[in-house]
Amino acid sequence: MWPIHHNFPALRFVAAILAAFSLAFFAALCFAQNSAMALDGTAADPDNFDAHYNLANALASQGQFSEAIIHYRAATRLRPDDANAEANLGTALAEAGNLPEAKLHLERALHINPSHELARENLAEINLRLGARNP
């Protein structure tokens, strides 16, 4: 029979690691399923704004900015008056290092919706970075 101990720090550590692994696995599985559904949506209907926009968001959240940009471009082509799509395209372009084009899309987002906070904050950051490059 195993002795009863009231304090199992190693067991708690292992349980915490298993819980974290389980959450990460579940998140990856959900991402894969959501991405597959959005990809199916873009294949089935290349003019589906929601499919392109949702896939772009999923890709961007995983740091796949080049791929996300492709779908944000499609989304903004389909709905040129969507400030969120423009702002997210600008943000993805900035993350990919294309600051001049990022600035253009963030400005478009603000033209569509002057109170768009994400666009305003990211545009300010880009302007600072561009200013630092061009003294």
The owner of tokens 């940009």 is 69
What separation in angstroms does the CA of 130 have from each of 39, 66, 71, 99, 133? 35, 21, 26, 7, 5
- Average pLDDT (85-96) is 97
- Token representation of residue 128: 């600072």
Least confident interval from 31-35, 79-83, 108-112, 122-126: 31-35
What integer pLDDT is reported at residue 96 of this predicted model?
96
Task: Say yes or no to pLDDT of 135 above 50.
Answer: no
Instruction: Report yes or no on whether pTM surpasses 0.75.
Output: no
With beta carbons less than 8 A apart as the criterion, state whether 123 and 106 touch: yes
H-helix or E-strand containing 80? none
Cα torsion 109, 113, 116, 121: sign: positive
Is the pLDDT score of 10 beyond 70?
Answer: no
Judged against a pLDDT cut of 50, whether residue 128 lies above it is answered with: yes
